[in-house]
Amino acid sequence: MKPMTMKLLFIIFPVVLLLLPATIIPAVTVDQSVTISIPDTVLFRAIKDGLPFPIAAQSQYVQGDVSLESLEKLQVMEKSLFIRGVVSGRDFTINTTIAGKDISLNLGSAQLPVSCELFLRFDGKKKILFVRPRFPKPNSLYSTDPADALLLLLSSLGEKEYPVEFGAIQPILAKAGTRDILIELEPVDILTQKGLLLIKMRPLVTRGT
């Protein structure tokens, strides 16, 4: 998830501050978590504003630089996120063997409209979000078409889980009278629901100077 998207989590907490008592007990943990609901339309705009960004992809057959150039659709479903956009690749080379010799062929560059489904799994104990992408499969492993090579490189990412570590979100600093109040947000769970990305957070309130 892009850092700008995480800023959406802070919208609700000025309201929470108004409900705090005048006397704050240090390091009080709130038992009940709060759930932030992010509509897929908001998530779409946040990611689109951050484009382009690189995609780290590796394959034993193809090498090249890949980036997501544009985003046309983002839909949050019950168990996954569906994304459609345009991906570009530069400096493609394909590795093959001809007559017993290893050969590297330069294929150039390509742009390709592509769709991808992302499956999320959050490990609450380790505070790690696992993302598993699923791309369409290429027609051939040995095509010299740059577009096919790009799709092959993307498909090499598929069906693997990639970890994204989540520690406590950067504390929110506020004032109650003359006192500084810090609110740390600990991620509890990340879920998808039709049209919504749900992020459950547990606030930890501490008193500053």
141 burial class (0-12, 13-18, 19+ CB within 10 angstroms)?
Answer: middle
Looking at the structure of the chain, the number of domains it has is 1
Q: In terms of residue numbers, what domain contains 18?
A: 3-165
pTM: 0.69
Q: Does residue 56 form part of some domain?
A: yes
pLDDT digit string (tens) for the chain, length 209 residues: 443 333 333 333 333 333 333 333 344 444 578 888 999 999 999 889 989 888 877 677 777 888 899 999 999 999 999 999 999 988 878 776 766 777 777 878 888 899 999 999 999 888 899 999 998 877 766 666 777 778 877 888 887 898 887 665 666 777 767 777 887 888 899 999 999 999 898 888 776 55
CATH number for the domain that contains residue 122: 3.15.10
pLDDT given at position 115: 93
Residue in the structure block whose two tokens are 């705090």? 20
Q: Does residue 207 form part of some domain?
A: no
pLDDT given at position 30: 44
Q: Does residue 202 form part of some domain?
A: no
C-alpha distance from residue 200 to each of 14, 38, 203 (Å): 17, 11, 10
Q: Does residue 194 form part of some domain?
A: no
pLDDT given at position 140: 65
d(CA 175, CA 73) in angstroms, rounded, equals 41
Q: What is the DSSP string of 127-153?
A: TEEEEEEE-PPPS-SS---HHHHHHHH
